[in-house]
Structure 1
Amino acid sequence: MMQLSGKAVSGGIVLGPIFVPDRKKEQIHCVRITDTEAEIDRVRAAVKQVKVQLQALADRALEEAGESGAAIFEAYELMLEDADYLEAIYDDIRMEKVSGARAAAATGERFAELFAGMEDEYMRARAADVRDISERLADLLDGGRETDFFPEEPSVIVADDLSPSEMVSLDRSKILAFATIQGSVGSHTAILARMMNIPALVEVPVNLEEIHTGMIAVVDGFEGTVTFEPDEDFRLQTEKRMKKEQEQLQRLESLKGRKTATKSGKKIDVYANIGSEDDVAYALENDAEGIGLFRSEFLYLGRRDFPTEEEQFQVYKRVVQRMAGRKVIIRTLDIGGDKQADYFNIGIEENPAMGYRAVRICLKQPEIFRIQLRALFRASVFGNLSVMYPMIISEEEVRQILRIAEEVQAELEAEGYPCQCPEQGIMIETPAAVMVSDELAELVDFFSIGTNDLTQYTLAIDRQNERLADYYDPHHKAILRMIRMVVENAHKHGIRVGICGELGADTELTEEFVRMGVDELSVAPSMILKVRKTVREIS
């Protein structure tokens, strides 16, 4: 019996035979191109073919994982229409005289590295999407290679990695669980696993040379372990746990459509954190009562120039319309730090987490900020939209923001656009904002506490620094006292306060947050029903 630990991305526990796919990658043929424009035409034709494939995957995902699963592949189609991505491929062909397959693979890797280097977990996870779509395009251009990736019986998939397209291509009845060496908690593969209720682990340090198809394994998505060749006692314990887990899943599903309130009747709003328009379907699938954090910076990343007002307006409009009256809180761009876009000309900073980022860019380069506010204010007439400003440290910053917002609204009205000034709130994610939250509460309509940055700034620890992992304690007394102070100051001035950082989904703290008076918890869509269950059990 051998047990390994990884990161759990989807809960559940299963026992079954493993399947190790044979996916030895062939090298892309190295061909010198003389007629570059003809090769570019070949890429354009291949893009159309890949779109057809993606539509078939979207249809299959709709059956297996619902609307939110299909939205993943619709997002892939949009990626294939991205002018920056396609032009980068064409530029490689023209300048390097390489084949379309080589150019697609190289471009995909460059774009993937851009996302992989970001601190935000959601953005890092998009690197896998770029690789997936680029590999699909490159393989088609290089002859359409196929791999042996289809188990004949229900199996636990153990592989180096697993892409969303591979996952959806498999017969759902043949996937008991999966455990991969690579991958991330925020990847679309992980999202599909949660939607399809497939227990799954990533970052499992398994040596694929030591295991083989047909071995028995137990994947535990709660403990984050995979056990190969379990003994008889372990198997019996697993079978009992599997039966109990099935009963618990049925109880969670029964909470859809139910109110999130304590036994004494205190209502708590449980919203979803999302990173793109496509995630709206996933939020609705999990019965989110609203969107507590919509990360707008995805509109600015992976491109060569700023998104236009009209581009942004259409995205914001579609999001609020799809939420059909439920609250949508959109955070203004949080570029900088780990999320870089060259065309912002931020430059290299020694300490980017404390550098030129977020609202600081907006106030130093107000022309960028004004375009986003115009799009937001125009979209606000189509639904229940609120705007939230990140990285606030002072009252003067807020006053500057509100002055710009007033000017933008006046401009739009003078130009004849239907618009309105939505609710405006700020993120409390710096110790400075906590200490002046009493004064800040007089200026805005709501607070949202970003516990991720608040924790790292308060403890002076980079949360991505593995050497300091033992010191990084989001349950630190200082953090909890700060949250309590913010809640008290907000309520003293009659405004609501929510938590949109990772602590919002920490069910060990849910009761404490409720007793503090937190009005709203915004969490990953997969955690909505679990948090609702916890709240409903509070006396």
Structure 2
Amino acid sequence: MKGLGVSPGIGIGNAFIIDKKAMNIERKHVIDTDSEIKRLRNALEIGKNQLNELYLKTLEEVGEKEAQIFKSHEMMLEDDTFSSDVEVRIKNENINAEFAINETSDTYIKLFENIEDEYLRERADDIRDVMTRVIKILLGINNTDYSRLKENSIIIAKDLTPSDTAQIDKSKVAAMITEMGGKTSHAAIIARIMGIPTVVGLENITNKIKPNDFVICDGKSGKVLINPNQKQLKYYTQKKEKEEEVGNELKKQIGLSTVTKDGFEVSLSANIGTPRDVDMVLENDAEGIGLFRSEFIFMNRELSPTEDEQFEEYKEVLSRMNNKPVIIRTLDIGGDKNVPYIDIPKEMNPFLGYRAIRLCLGNIDVFRTQLRAILRASIYGNVKIMFPMISTMKELKDAKKILEEAKLELKKEGKSFRDNIEIGIMIEIPSAAIISDMLAREVDFFSIGTNDLIQYTLAVDRMNSKLSHLYSQYHPALLRLIKSIIENAHKAGIWVGMCGEAAGDPKLIPVFLGMGLDEFSMNAPSVLKSRYIIRGLKKKEMEQVAANTLNLENAVEVEDYLSCLFADENDSYLKRCKIRSKTND
């Protein structure tokens, strides 16, 4: 069987089925609505106490970032608007509390499920998890007894909520398999942080696997084997041992410079969303932060963060990075990523709409406040400022003008900041790529955002599963565009990085190296693997590889060519980049 692998690794062990009893939520007529509301409030209070216990447990065993999930869940139960909506239903319709909660939460869930952004859409699972907890309290249904977990258990479930993952003893879990879930669900996020192999999207798996069945789970390929034969078991056991060996080998890259065999040095940075992500950056020995997605500071709150609140967040990251470069991308929100305190109109095409720098230039107070906070924090480290979604020269000049105004304000107030901060832009729109020779005269660096550049160049919605075969980072048009961006940047004497997913692709790293990319920024766990690859290559040889790649006709040819060119002796990384055929064939 094959599902979606969301956390790599091999898990081998016995199945532990999480059989959640179906909740029979019937509509019942109640006469004493005051007593029913009291019953509701009692259940909400019990739910909050349970969530606080989960917060403390997760804080101790996993970390602050993951524990915050339960604080946000607790806030849902404290939301006056929601509880008021439920109480009004109980009174007006004379219905029971569990039915009223179910009906009200369904309305909220449908709103989130219709959001295009995958991360926000999957927050519907959070609402479902919290409300299920309260309904179970009202119905008197006990939760799963996780104390029965044995060593090397393979968790099998329809879905794993944050509440489930917090209660599981991670030391006893070899892998997790679910029928539902996505790459950005909390279960997937926690699984990756804890290094638990996980596969999601396996339809009806809870009925196909019996308790104590022997199971193999490949969290990278998404393959799941039930009661494998000896040959299969031997293969995956060896594969698991090999991956562990590779992981230990990669740790030897810590402390080494990222330089090719012929002396070409590049920078390997990591992408982060919050200050808490710095732990992974330091653990994987990244040479800087190539993308700090500042929008996460603005999300999941009712009011815009103040200048001081933002200042503290940026200061923490800069201080911990100990003068290593940190590129902060200014607010990239709008369209499908709304916040309640900024009026963003509903749009037919949100990805082409009022977002990122366009929204900031339309909300100058919000933009200036962020720039002031970054400037004030600059004295604590090596910060660089990057503007997203630039499509015209005017946008760039307007943004720079507001930055200069913020500097003047701080000078008048006697507040310190670094005056020589590097300014850059994300190149993620074809128009910016085409005029990159002109834009390069106005900035200190470019960072290529391949995720959006792919969808805008190929006219493919990256959220549309029916078009996934067209969304490819190997498309020759994209690669030619990237080469022209790098060339234009270098002609103007500025450096260029890449912060999209393609930057960490083992097959494309040699191509971008050959094109002369100066900085690669990726998810922190990919840094050591990428360093190993680059240290095994010669820049001069990769220039020819890049030239050959650009002469191919389609994405399939490009990927096949690169797959044949470099030996992939281990599924989890390029064991040693050896050219199998001549680079000029």
TM over 0.5: yes
Matched, 1:8 2:9: no
The change in CA–CA distance for 1:49 and 1:417 in structure 2 (over 3 A counts) is: farther
Structure 2 distance, partners of 1:315, 1:429, is 26
Which position in structure 1 is the counterpart of 2:561? none
Query: Following the alignment from structure 1 to structure 2, what is the Cα–Cα distance between the partners of residues 243 and 322?
Result: 34
Counterpart CA distance in 2 for 1:490 and 1:343 is: 38
Instruction: Choose from 389, 392, 399 the match for 2:390.
Output: 392
Per-residue deviation, 1:501: 0.9
Rounded to whole Å, the distance in 1 between the matches of 2:77 and 2:417 is 31
Shift of residue 122, structure 1, vs aligned partner:
4.5
1:34 match: secondary structure: helix
User: Can you list the C-alpha shifts for 1:230-275, whole angstroms capped at 9, x where unaligned?
Assistant: 2232222222322322221211233233332222332222222222
Distance 1:282 1:101 in 2: 41
Alignment-derived partner of residue 308 in structure 1: 306
1:138-178 CA-to-partner distances (Å, cap 9, x unmatched) read 65687683213442342211211223443343233321111
Match of 1:23 in 2: 20
Distance change >3 Å, CA 380–CA 120, structure 1 → 2: farther
CA-CA distance at 1:226 after TM superposition: 0.6
Comparing 131-140 with 383-392, greater Cα deviation is found at 131-140
Q: Note closer, same or farther for the CA distance 1:235–1:38 as it changes in structure 2 (3 Å cut).
A: closer
Q: Partners of 1:329 and 1:309 in 2: how far apart?
A: 18
Q: Distance in 1 between matches of 2:321 and 2:106?
A: 35
Superposed displacement of residue 229, structure 1: 2.3
8 A Cα contact 1:17 1:215, kept in partner: yes
Q: 1:508 is aligned with what amino acid?
A: K
Task: Report the secondary structure of 1:498's partner residue.
Answer: strand
Q: Quote how far apart the aligned CAs of 1:344 are.
A: 2.5
Q: In the alignment, which residue of structure 1 is the partner of 2:34?
A: 34
User: 2:310 corresponds to which letter in structure 1?
Assistant: Q
* Deviation by residue 1:469-501 (Cα, 9 ceiling, x = unmatched): 222222111111111111111122222211111
Q: Once structures 1 and 2 are overlaid, which stretch shifts more, 29-38 or 83-92?
A: 29-38
From 412, 415, 439, the equivalent of 1:414 is 412
User: Which residue identity does 2:324 align to in structure 1?
Assistant: R
**Are 1:534 and 2:533 counterparts?**
yes
Greater alpha carbon shift after TM alignment, 98-107 vs 44-53:
98-107
In structure 2, distance between residues paired with 1:362 and 1:296: 13
Following TM superposition, by how much is the alpha carbon of 1:80 offset from its aligned partner in structure 2, in angstroms?
5.5
Report percent identity of matched pairs: 41
1:477 equivalent in structure 2: 476
| CA spacing shift, 1:462–1:177, aligned 2, 3 Å | same
CA deviation after TM superposition for structure 1 residue 118, in Å = 4.6
Distance 1:14 1:48, change over 3 A: closer
8 Å CA contact 2:125–2:161 kept in 1: the answer is: yes
Q: Which stretch of the first structure deviates more once superposed, 183-192 or 72-81?
A: 72-81
Q: What CA deviation, in whole Å up to 9, does each residue of 1:503-522 have, x standing for no partner?
A: 11211100111111111111
Tell me the amino acid that sits aligned with residue 335 of structure 1: I
Q: Contact 1:12–1:245 (CA<8 Å) still a contact in 2?
A: yes
- Once residues 278 and 141 of structure 2 are traced to their aligned partners in structure 1, the CA distance between those partners, rounded to angstroms, is 33
Superposed displacement of residue 225, structure 1: 0.7
Which residue of structure 2 lines up, in the alignment, with residue 333 of structure 1?
Answer: 331
2:73 pairs with 1:76: no
Per chain length, whose mean CA-contact separation is higher, i.e. which structure has more relative contact order (CA < 8 Å, sep 6+)? 1
Corresponding residue for residue 201 of structure 2: 203
CA contact (8 A) 1:219 1:226 kept: yes
Q: Which amino acid in 1 is paired with 2:483?
A: R
1:138-217 map, 5 Å: 145-149=142-146, 150-217=148-215
Other-structure match for 1:220: 218
Deviations for 1:374-424, whole angstroms, at most 9, x for unmatched residues?
222222222222221111111111111111110111112212322335322
- Residue 9 of structure 2 aligns with an amino acid whose one-letter code is G
Give, in angstroms, the shift of residue 182 of structure 1. Answer: 1.7
Q: Show the counterpart of 1:89.
A: 82
**How big is the alpha-carbon RMSD for the aligned residues of Structure 1 and Structure 2?**
3.1
Compared CA separation, residues 131 and 280, structure 1 to 2 (3 A): farther
Q: Secondary structure at the match of 1:271?
A: strand
Residue matched to 2:541: none
> Deviation of residue 205 (structure 1)?
2.5
What residue ranges of structure 2 are gaps of 5+ in the alignment? 539-585
**2:304 counterpart letter in structure 1:** F
The residue aligned with 1:506 is 505
Query: Bigger CA drift: 236-245 or 120-129?
Result: 120-129
**1:46-125 → structure 2 map (5 Å cutoff):** 47=48, 50-61=51-62, 70-76=63-69, 78-79=71-72, 86-93=79-86, 95-97=88-90, 117-124=114-121
Does the 8 Å CA contact 1:122/1:275 hold for their aligned counterparts? no
Contact 2:449 2:499 in 1 (8 A): yes
Cα distance in structure 2, aligned partners of 1:45 and 1:221: 36
| 1:425 CA displacement | 1.0
TM-fit CA distance, 1:454: 0.7
Work out which of the residue numbers 312, 322, 326 in structure 2 matches 1:324.
322
Residue type of the alignment partner of 2:64: A
Distance 2:290 2:232 in 1: 42
Q: Which secondary structure state, in structure 2, belongs to the residue aligned with residue 17 of structure 1?
A: strand
Q: Tell me: CA distance 1:379–1:465, structure 2 relative to 1, closer, same or farther (3 Å).
A: same
TM alignment of 1:304-453, pairs within 5 A: 304-421=302-419, 422-453=421-452
SS in 2 for 1:344: coil
Who is 1:293 aligned against? 291
Equivalent in the alignment of 1:242: 240
Q: Report the CA distance shift for 1:73/1:462 in structure 2 as closer, same or farther (over 3 A).
A: closer
Change (3 A) 1:511 1:106: farther
Distance across 2 between alignment mates of 1:106 and 1:394: 47
Task: Give the drift of 1:190.
Answer: 2.5
What's the TM-score, normalizing by structure 1?
A: 0.88
Q: Which residue of 2 aligns with 1:65?
A: none
Counterpart-to-counterpart distance in 2, 1:298 and 1:385 = 18
* SS of aligned partner of 2:525: helix
Cα distance change, pair 43–220 in 1 and its aligned pair in 2 (3 A): closer
Judged with a 3 Å threshold, the aligned counterparts in structure 2 of structure 1 residues 208 and 56 are, in CA distance, closer, same or farther, namely closer
CA distance in 1, matches of 2:207, 2:11: 23
